[in-house]
Structure 1
């Protein structure tokens, strides 16, 4: 049997079925021993979960659930201490090696299995970088606006220029997103955005507040 090491609540563990194989013991006999160790620990008001974690497993083709334990490194040490001679030495070497494998696996990220998986990871990283960039820009913008420009009103041209697009293109994006609509050559917000403080009318023209500018940036980043 070659069970994988398991991370349970960030703690590395080994399945008791594999431990039983390592020590040359029937699994049900090991379960009885571990259950006894648990009782002793709990009667001494010690956390048995630091050593043994109760768990279950199923066998292919059988819907029945069987009991097992997940042994932490401390739990393996306790089992090893009860073994004598060559058997104890071999088991200690085996479980120490297994926990080292787990530690290496945690520290070393798994390589992608194929081109598609590698591409998906790259896309996720790009999206994360874009999101972090947006959040940093928004934070910088908010800090800048704390000064005399806190009540600055932005024209659509100013906002569009920051994103290297034309005002016409930005207006079209907002229209397609059902943020605004045009009537007789002027732009108006749809009712759902009208009272959110995103815009103010100045000289009969729609101007965007700082909150409105951030709202537009979120749309462009999405």
Structure 2
């Protein structure tokens, strides 16, 4: 399936789909050791334009960034393609909504595993605060006052002058409300190197 097919299926501009694919390609290369297949097509003016040709696994990985209804459309479309490949001319019953949601959950879970790989062995602010015998609220306030972190858009961020030193990593969490609305939350976690840095700044023997 090409990125053009995905754009048409989801009702999204092709450029938006290309941006989403490029953004997720780095994590994919890290895990699989290869980039997505980039090909060309002729637009309405006869000019060559880039697009991606993706396998089923690659498509479902990209779909982790999509809304539930778009993920379901991709899952169903791949089932149709597989039936066509097998030459099955019989009308097969479409999967139940429960099956579609279960498949979507598996896709989300695999996507989160890849996205959170760098933050796998890191500690949350609550966990680090306990090593300094502080509450999470006091811990965050102390780091803010010391210029180590700042709060923006409802989340804590490492100060710009400390970026790139391996002190922190980003963790992604997905949850659903009782109405089925998806909520995605990104938050900062601390690496072992970051914990050593905090220890040197706060002067507490937490090692």
Q: Give TM-score, length-normalised by structure 2.
A: 0.38
Q: Give TM-score, length-normalised by structure 1.
A: 0.35
Query: Between Structure 1 and Structure 2, whose CA radius of gyration is higher?
Result: 1
Higher relative contact order (CA 8 A, sep 6+): 2
